[in-house]
Structure 1
Amino acid sequence: MSVLYIILAGILALLAAIFQYGKAKGKSKGNLLFAFLRFLSVFSILLLLINPKFKKVTVYQENPALAILTDNSSSIAFLEQQEKVNDILTALENDQELKERFSIDHYTFGETLKNGRALTFGEGRTDLSESLSSLKDIYRGKNTATIVITDGNQTYGEDYTYTSLNYPTPVFPVALGDTATYDDLKISRLNVNRYAYFRNKFPVEVILNYDGEAPVNSTFRILSGNRTLFRKAVHFSPEHRSEIIQTHLDAETRGVLTFRAEVLPLENERNTRNNHKAFGIEVIDQKTEVLIISDMPHPDIGALKRGIESNEERTVTLSKPDLNINKLNDFQLVILYQPNASFANVLRELSKIGKNTFTITGRNTDWDFLNRAQDIFSKKKSNLTEEVQGSYNESYSIFATDNIGFSHYPPLQVTFGDIDLNAPYETILYQKVKGVPTETPLLFTVEKDHKRGAVLLGQDIWKWRMQDYRENKNNEKFDKFLGKLIFYLASNQKRDRLETDYETFYDGSSPVTVTAQYFDRNYLFNPEASLRITVKKESDTSGRTYPMLLRNNYYEADLSDLEAGQYTFTVRVEGENIQRSGQFRILEFDIEQQYGSAAIGKLQTLARNSGGKVFYHTDIENLKTRLMEDERFKPVQKSKENTVPLVDWKILLFLIALFLTAEWFLRKYRGLV
């Protein structure tokens, strides 16, 4: 059809030229030139109006990608390899043949992958597995070679030798550090509970490992200050390279206690930083007793018990509703799971003694009974249920809590119908039905007559705990959220206008943070306040002051730059005579300094699994030769076909202007204008 329009445009342009200049007397060359120019200009204009499309084929060369990953962890500085890293990068960047053959991208990695080549060698964790997984997504479907400049020692995340199985692109590790094997004793793992009870014993489990080729003897011991609490002789050989030591220590005093576990170094041992590890516990003199009452078996009960008891200062007792009601006063909190008529005596006694409760309802809840037994909330009985997800309320301010990802957690089974609330309440989670958030509470707290309570209007909370494990390989987020709710419900202590939350000790490898909540005189969270925290080390006379930043419904100070030691702190509200103090200890431990040589064996496995090869910092020329000669990394010539409309040809507009201008000037020159 476009060809027909173009022919028609040519005929019309010819007729326009004949009409303009065909009647002129004589057929001089000037008239023919004018007619030709008029034909070209009219034809070009008509072509623009028709706007035919043309296929344009572009032939180009696509170079393979070369991703250079550089280890930015503190272990590189500990092994004194910074200068070698810079030399390797310079050699790769200045090679003209590599730049012509490959499209080169730089990345650094510690705990996460980062774009660019800015190096500080200060990251406290190394997760090469996560970085390789991220790189796989970045270069999916592309011809790529990967160079990893590292000592191969990973301190966090999944083992990268498993990640490299069937890895889609070849990896060429460049090994840093001493690759020779030396005799080395180390504490590879230390397991201890965070809490112990006063005058009780607490367990300690230590895993020792040995790298070497000859039988050796040493001594393992645990010290508190200069006092030795435990001692054991240990023996290792090429056939016996590890030993698990288990013991129990006495919790003799209240508060935070710190200890030092150490295995005495060998005579010729080079790296002794991994021979010792500090650890701490908090000795408490009070235990929270929680009672769960249920008339039915359900996975929720097991999830609640395990979540609550993840904190060693809490124990859970399970019971049927026919228990001796006189024992209810032995517990700080009672959880009522899907109450029915058999709970009548329990609810009557709980109301009498003013005990805090956590009520969980579901499809087996007897709503007629529950509506009569208490006056805080009510709901019409229904045999229908619906699936409801949780939508976190960022404005919840009764106690500091976090959104652990409720919006994508599995839905709970909720009895169909509206809930009527007859007491002041604060919503933690709203109901989200079929992806649409509502204003109907799913999880809320109430305070009435000096009694605290919480209500969850849905069952199958066990799925939330499983989802947390599926996403994070542990249950820490769910258990911490549940723990904060239990802590609030298990206490009748009057709320302060300024509340702080912090760990009593930090292991030296995790972030050090202190959070706070500040309430106005009506006990509503105040997001407009200015909070500052002053931190003082035990051995210093002066302290350091940090601003606390607003994070949703709490303030937070990141103190991760502090060195190991005992600290006291004070949080103050500017313009108010309100402050809170506390203390914590940062244990001395740098996981990046636990290795004294390169993990050459793991790097060889990485290279073998991915189809690459290990090189050393002295073999960079061989590495470049291997990349240039590898048939897998040859440039590919590709063609791309584009459909280009004529209107995009700007030269045609120029030609139209040129034709019209030439015609006008020639006519002017001949006196025809």
Structure 2
Amino acid sequence: MEIQIVSHHIFWYILFTIIAAAVGIISYGQTFPPLGKLQRISLTTLRVAMVILLGIFLIEPLLNFYSSKTIKPQLAVLMDISKSMGVKGGSVSRIAEADQLTQKALDAINSERRIFNFASDIKETDGVPGESGLSGDATSISNALRDLAARKDFDNFGAIVMVTDGRQNLGEDPVETAGKLNIPVYTLTVGEQITEKNLSVDNIIYPTIAYSGAELKIETELSASGLGTGKSRLYLKLGANVISDKPFDIPEAGREIKISFNVKAPEPGNYEYTVSSPILEGESNKVDNERVFAVRVLKNKLKLFLGSSSLNWEFKFVKQSLSKFEEFDVDAVFPQAPGNFSDPGTPRGLDGLKKYDTIILVGSAPPDLRISPVDLTKYVEEGGSLIYLSGKNVANDLRLFDGILPLKPVNPVIADGEYYFEPSPTQKQHAAILIDDDPDQSIRLWHSLPPFTEIVTGIEPTGNVLLEAGSNVRDSLLHAKIPGKPTPDARPILIVGHQGKGRVSAITGFPWWQSYFGAAKDNRISGAIPNFWRNLVKWSAATDQMQNFKVITERKVYRLGEPVRLTGYLYDEANRPKSGAFVSLSIFPDSQQTSIKDVVLPPVDAGIYAEEVQSLAPGHYSFKAIATGYGDTLGKAEGSFTVENVSLEMTSSAPDYNLTRRISEATGGIAYNSETFQNFPQQLKLTPYVKENQATIRPFGLPLLLAILLLGLCAEWGLRKRFRLP
């Protein structure tokens, strides 16, 4: 036993305990009324005992008790009961051979053992299984080792012997899992050693965003085993059509080759591509020769018309901001003389407007640039986009837009002052105003921008208000607003909406150039306003026909026991990959409303979320997914896939002696085959060891001692009353 003192004031507590005990002894030396000697001794003893007990509470001692026990380690026997163990080599199946060899070895071992069956997980059993016990449609050696290590009694095992054919086709790398166990793993691998033939498409490297007409590079990684020398072809399909193919030399076993495709990206839209190679003669695994992936194609460059009725600072600022981005081709037009505009001139008619993805008018109405409001309305309704930036003539301009803009002019008046940018709390993740991936940081950047000086009042928003004017950097008028319902004190400065198939925006706070140049010397916020204009234009030009959230499977049909990989692609409304979302997915059997599996797709790349789902029964399945972020729903998607009633376990049944050898080498065990397993009983090392145990008692935390202290004090008080002491 060992005593430790927790308190740092032990000296003072002991001193106070001694003083208190001495006072108790002295106080009962003489009493009134006088007591007998036995009575005084009883009271003194009780008082001193309680004082000492209280002192023990104060100094907080720890009582450490040590013990040791000799442990005889047990042997964990893991028996593979997957269906591939039923494969026969001649007239004897693998499981029959394994039963015979294992039973003979266990009879020669004196140590206690416990037997576990495994396929995709483990289950303890009383004896070695027979052929009738084979049930697994997939084998996961890594899962079996992980589940064994998770048992509370795992410390009782001193070694593991795993009897298997080594056909791991599910789960993580078992070598890595085994290396974390800290006990040796002995392996008995059964089955005829044959060279398996297989060619697989292992990985695809591709961009999630491509630009129409530009080069789209796709890199594929392939590996092979047991096929020898030869040639094959790799095909790249867009939908069901082959758009490119390349010959390649079949790689040697253990080597990997890379094949690249450089194709022209199609018209804007969402596309599914497939990379596949033909099934070669003798291939054992016919499900890994193709992969499906998705790419979003955008316009190579957005064609913008930027027009103004005068060459002013606001016009110059917008032109400078947009021209610095390579994805924009800007035609900036202003009047050089009455009736004479700078090249290339203003768009003529509806056909002229349709040459542009977005029309931006700075402090101008359509007639100022010889644009018909009727043509402009048709242009927007048929899928074009319009951005209007207010200026000094806003009261007159608004009446000339013929109702295209997302606002209603009631009594438009310019109000001078000092105003700050305030994102709407219900729209802070909107793609047009999100100037940082983190919405909260985006708001902080808006708050940090220098103020502007003029806003348009007397208007009624008919679209979504994204920005409003705050009266100071942190003072927002939005906190009392009901989402979607403008209040009388609303001061919108950015309103967006839809007109037919197109998108429209109205900016009613200005001038922006002053805020931009006021922030130009601050590296932290200097890019905020140009990025906003970039986002606003990209959001305006984005087509609603593009699905912002999509989830696909690598194949439409899977083998029984094969993991189903689900990949989600998430974009914001400006067609940028959206990171930081929470993507959840539910899987439903065919024609059922109750999900059988709910999973979360973790992020794997910018805007890409993926996860594998294990062990689904044969049948047709549908899935529904939802992406959320900061409390907002970012997108919903659904799809389907099928699991065949053909076991993955039987698509490739050749034993893997190399895998079991690596497992044993990584843990300090020995790998055996049917001819060498007779040496296992002599080579098994299960050495008894001494296990030290420590038990700690904290007296000051025991309710019993506290009860004794209270009872002792009560007893002293009761005796004093009985003896008529004050």
Which TM-score applies when normalising by structure 2?
Answer: 0.44
